[in-house]
Structure 1
Amino acid sequence: MTIRVAIAGARGKMGQEAVHTIMKNTGMELVSILDYKEIGETLADTNLFPQNFTVPIFLDLKELHEKTKPDVLVDLTSPESVYQHTRDALGLGIRPVVGTTGFSDEELKELTAYAKEHRIGCIIAPNFAIGAVLMMKFAEQAAKYLPDIEIIELHHDQKLDAPSGTAMKTANMISKQREPHMQGHPKEKETLEGARGANYDGMRIHSVRLPGLLAHQQVLLGGEGQLLTIRHDSFNRGSFMSGVTLSVTKVMEIDNLVYGLENIID
């Protein structure tokens, strides 16, 4: 069966990469695009894609669904719109595959309950890079033995949310193995606010935003006389595409919400 795919956020750098990936995949068909502003009738009208990319563009998800009947919506938009897109897609019976971060815990709980009640698949992936998923899994395993941890995530300077979804997901996974406790000296004091980073159950998360970076993270686990560093680097957006295609395939096989690709890889 060919999987019918719609993409939200096709004009972004990740979205453009996803368009080409889906178009080349023989098991998938790109049937429509969701955008927030009038940019033309088809992808070809955007001047970002070849003239033979005649996939129609819609401003309204309901109209997109009625006219093109996608099985899956790949959302690569922004934290401001991703929750509503995901909720609306589930309501229409479209299976979301979401690479945008920025969900609150309450939103994730609500979407999880909705997907379970209606028995519809949804995958939310803070990071589509398989190597990044392995980095998170390795950090979770190591935290059982080295529970004093700091996370440093580094991204391009156009990223909107901090900490990154990957850093938050990493901290969440680590917390399953690590008892919450404060790190550093008990009388530690910041002489410049924010110097020690964000506090997650006593772990510290530091966000770096600079031009020239794409998506990078290192988890530092300290112990007596030793330091373990687990690091992953994405050097181009092609690193995320294997996770996108895996998620599009897997979301058709599940009837619940899955948060994180570590739950769908062996």
Structure 2
Amino acid sequence: MSEKIKVAVAGASGRMGREVVKMVLADEHLELVAAVDRSGAGSDAGELVGVKPCGIIAVGDLDAALGAAKPDVLVDFTVPSVVYGNTLTAIKHGVRPVVGATGFTPEQIQELDGLCREANIGGLIAPNFSIGAILMMQFAAKAAEYLPHVEIIEYHGDQKLDAPSGTSIKTAELIAETRKKFKQGNPNEEEILPGARGGEYDGFRIHSVRLPGVFAQQEVVFGGYGQSLKIRHDSYERAGYMPGVKIGVEKVMTYTGMVYGFEHVM
């Protein structure tokens, strides 16, 4: 790679944003040119994430930051309430969005794909950047061809805002592509406690567990005659997502349009 990819980070002082900033600063092929964070505005981005000063001062306004720094890529791990607007702002500036937040509707993804194509840039929305998690999803989709009775159990910390997780929804979508649609379980079952059977997706269930001390795990459980299969992925720290984020930043420079799902660029 002859020239460094210029990267801006939205939500730079957030839990994932800090890891992204550290990854970009440490990578010889990437260059941090902007850090956007309202609470950390005015601070050096390096000091903001606990490393040595880097000379990039965090600002609170994304539009102004992208206009001034002119990055190639915006990495955004903010929250569902602002990420759609951030993505529109990035595309307006001709900046390729690499988004790890959830909350996009299919209609919004389709709209963003059209806008990226009009701007002749690539974009990536990925519910999960963990290489192991993507393999878990792909294995689950394959297993569903042969074991269509399936349920998903996802575990996160008790401060997570959305349920079910974006990873579990993406897993369910991939399973639904290979699984013949039908409603599982006893047709006469009765939930004594409402919600006890979890959320229904295409005839199977997703269960969300929220507990302190838990980081991120997901288990896909298949049942068949006289057997069961469990496919599980465990994440232990946020740094584990950074190799995938780096791949996303590099790959988004090579195509046009919005891609939904890290598995399509991995």
> How far apart, CA to CA, are the structure 2 residues paired with 1:141 and 1:119?
34
Q: State the shift of 1:122 in Å.
A: 0.4
Instruction: Identify the residue that residue 50 of structure 2 maps to in structure 1.
Output: 49
Instruction: Identify the residue that residue 261 of structure 2 maps to in structure 1.
Output: 260
Instruction: Identify the residue that residue 132 of structure 2 maps to in structure 1.
Output: 131
Q: State the shift of 1:67 in Å.
A: 1.5
SS in structure 1 at match of 2:81: coil
Which residue identity lines up with residue 103 of structure 1 in the other structure?
F
Q: State the shift of 1:39 in Å.
A: 3.2
> How far apart, CA to CA, are the structure 2 residues paired with 1:104 and 1:37?
28
CA spacing shift, 1:157–1:22, aligned 2, 3 Å: same
CA spacing shift, 1:45–1:141, aligned 2, 3 Å: closer
SS in structure 2 at match of 1:174: helix
Instruction: Identify the residue that residue 28 of structure 2 maps to in structure 1.
Output: 26
Instruction: Identify the residue that residue 88 of structure 1 maps to in structure 2.
Output: 89
SS in structure 1 at match of 2:104: coil
Q: State the shift of 1:119 in Å.
A: 2.5
Percent of aligned pairs with the same amino acid = 50
Q: State the shift of 1:221 in Å.
A: 1.1
Within-5 A mapping of 1:162-241? 162-241=163-242
> How far apart, CA to CA, are the structure 2 residues paired with 1:3 and 1:44?
18
Q: State the shift of 1:54 in Å.
A: 2.5
Instruction: Identify the residue that residue 16 of structure 2 maps to in structure 1.
Output: 14
SS in structure 2 at match of 1:122: strand
> How far apart, CA to CA, are the structure 1 residues paired with 2:40 and 2:143?
49
Question: Is the 1:122–1:257 contact (alpha carbons within 8 Å) kept by the matching residues of 2?
Answer: yes
Question: Is the 1:31–1:56 contact (alpha carbons within 8 Å) kept by the matching residues of 2?
Answer: no
Instruction: Identify the residue that residue 5 of structure 1 maps to in structure 2.
Output: 7
SS in structure 2 at match of 1:244: helix
Which residue identity lines up with residue 232 of structure 1 in the other structure?
H
Segments of 5+ residues of structure 2 without an aligned counterpart are none
Moved more, 35-44 or 207-216: 35-44
Question: Is the 1:87–1:111 contact (alpha carbons within 8 Å) kept by the matching residues of 2?
Answer: yes
Segments of 5+ residues of structure 1 without an aligned counterpart are none
Question: Is the 2:147–2:222 contact (alpha carbons within 8 Å) kept by the matching residues of 1?
Answer: yes
> How far apart, CA to CA, are the structure 2 residues paired with 1:43 and 1:198?
40
- Once superposed, which parts of structure 1, at least 4 consecutive aligned residues long, lie more than 6 Å away? none
Which residue identity lines up with residue 204 of structure 2 in the other structure?
M
SS in structure 2 at match of 1:81: helix
Q: State the shift of 1:112 in Å.
A: 1.9
Instruction: Identify the residue that residue 35 of structure 1 maps to in structure 2.
Output: 37
Count of residue pairs brought into register by the alignment = 264
Question: Is the 1:7–1:34 contact (alpha carbons within 8 Å) kept by the matching residues of 2?
Answer: yes
Question: Is the 1:39–1:45 contact (alpha carbons within 8 Å) kept by the matching residues of 2?
Answer: no
Over aligned residue pairs, what C-alpha RMSD do you find? 1.4
Q: State the shift of 1:113 in Å.
A: 2.2
The C-alpha deviation readout for 1:75-132, integer Å capped at 9, x for no partner, is 0111111111111101110000111112122222211222233321001111111000
> How far apart, CA to CA, are the structure 1 residues paired with 2:20 and 2:202?
35
Question: Is the 1:77–1:100 contact (alpha carbons within 8 Å) kept by the matching residues of 2?
Answer: yes
Q: State the shift of 1:51 in Å.
A: 4.6
Moved more, 59-68 or 36-45: 36-45
SS in structure 2 at match of 1:161: coil
